[in-house]
Amino acid sequence: MESFSGGHDPCFQYSSSVKEKATMKSYRDRSYARWRTYGHSCFSGFYRIRLLIVFSFVFAATLLLTRASSLMGWSRDHQTPQVPFRSRYTVVINTWKRNDLLKRSISHYSACQGVDAIRIVWSEPNVPTERLRTSVENLVSVASRKKDEFISVQFDIHVNDDLNNRFKPLDDLRTDAILSIDDDVLVPCSTLETAFSVWTSAPHSMVGFVPRMHWVKAKNPSFGSYEYSYGGWWSVWWMGTYSMVLSKAAFIHKKYLDLYTNELPASIRQYVKDERNCEDIAMSFLVANETGAPPIWIKTRIYEIGSTGISSLQGHSEHRTDCINHFVTLFGSMPLVASNVKVADARHLWFW
Ligand SMILES: *[C@@H]1O[C@H](CO)[C@@H](O)[C@H](O)[C@H]1NC(C)=O
């Protein structure tokens, strides 16, 4: 202390004199005396040095937090080198009479890393107009040029309006991975990268962003089996348990398209077609029956750009409950497996 007081500062002069008079006193007592005697002007002079030290610490810490990763060559946006086709996926967009949403979603997904192709499941009575085709192709070619990676885009035209169309096997797929997505759902590209890397570790699982649950409602006495009810996002949020991820935003293996169309009991597909609902629950049943394991939920925010989805209709939950109970009967068992695991991108978590 004395060495850098220089003798001009009354605070530090005093501290020296106190030291002479009260050599037996402890350091803590001395500083207490000094602080009391000299009041504000002196206190602030001393305090300024402390403040400076504190600020330097804060500044250094901030600098460290913001710069350390780059000094060390740790970039959060580091791209691992892309290996062409195993590290890519095909986006399969299910659309219905919402060309503006379709275009928005195509321009979003074509900009994401790892997209190999975009396939549009088209079940409308009229074929896509030349104008729509041209604008879709333009969107994709602009994105391809920006990324310097060729992305193809194709309409898959279906003659009838059937919800099962979204799971029809696709010709000329170059990837095993499919991102099944609705035309009104936007998932951030960064989350897609996370989810896709999870999928590559568990390629037989469904990896998605919208979790749902089946709850046991009652034991059905006549069959000795259970009656289930459908749990929406509210119950998943409350209980932290899920057993399905919806195919409106999920990665699946392309083999499930074939299994859905050719192996799933036809009565289930018929039910989906007639009720115009629950193709996603049917797919969840199928995958759970194949794997005997729960799906994987990736933590993210998704953006629903159209607000007239089927889930906003009255009685949605009752319909879904009916679907689950029907499918259990048609399947002969309840294949869904519950999970409490939520996967998050470690770059966006502050606490270990
Ligand atoms: C469920 O899985 C079992 C065992 O792999 C299989 O034999 C059965 O056909 C599957 N059920 C359905 C409805 O796909």
Q: What is the mean pLDDT of residues 233-242?
A: 92
With a CB cutoff of 8 Å and minimum separation 6, the contacts of 187 are 181, 195, 209, 249, 300, 302, 303
* 296 token code pair: 């994987």
Phi then psi for 62, rounded to 5 degrees? -65, -45
* 220 token code pair: 């059905």
Per DSSP bridges, beta strands 177-182 and 249-253 are antiparallel
Residue 255 has pLDDT above 70, yes or no: yes
29/210: higher pLDDT: 210
Cα of 49 to ligand 1 centre, how many Å? 75
The verdict on the CB of residue 300 being under 6 Å from ligand 1 is no
pLDDT band at 74 (very low <50, low <70, confident <90, very high): low
Cα of 340 to ligand 1 centre, how many Å? 25
The single-letter DSSP state of residue 158 is: -
pLDDT band at 78 (very low <50, low <70, confident <90, very high): low
Question: What is the Cα gyration radius of the chain?
Answer: 31
With a CB cutoff of 8 Å and minimum separation 6, the contacts of 210 are 233, 245, 246, 248, 249, 250, 302
225/329: higher pLDDT: 329
The verdict on the CB of residue 263 being under 6 Å from ligand 1 is yes
pTM, full prediction: 0.76
* 267 token code pair: 């009565």
Q: What is the mean pLDDT of residues 51-57?
A: 77
pLDDT band at 224 (very low <50, low <70, confident <90, very high): low
Cβ atoms of 284 and 336 within 8 Å: the answer is yes
The verdict on the CB of residue 289 being under 6 Å from ligand 1 is yes
Question: Strand locations in the chain, DSSP E?
Answer: 89-95, 115-122, 152-157, 177-182, 185-186, 207-208, 211-220, 225-231, 244-245, 249-253, 296-298, 303-304, 342-343
The verdict on the CB of residue 265 being under 6 Å from ligand 1 is yes
Best mean pLDDT range from 43-57, 66-80, 268-282: 268-282
Cβ atoms of 164 and 256 within 8 Å: the answer is no
pLDDT in tens, 127-146: 999 999 999 999 999 999 99
Cα of 289 to ligand 1 centre, how many Å? 6
Q: What is the mean pLDDT of residues 44-67?
A: 70
The verdict on the CB of residue 167 being under 6 Å from ligand 1 is no
**In this structure, which amino acid lies at residue 141?**
S
Instruction: State residue 131's pLDDT score.
Output: 95
Instruction: Output the CA torsion sign for 180, 92, 259, 85.
Output: negative
Cα of 182 to ligand 1 centre, how many Å? 27
Residues in the chain: 352
Q: Quote the CA–CA distance of 36 and 164 in Å, as a whole number.
A: 82
**Is 280 considered catalytic here?**
yes
Q: Quote the CA–CA distance of 297 and 198 in Å, as a whole number.
A: 10
Phi then psi for 226, rounded to 5 degrees? -100, 155
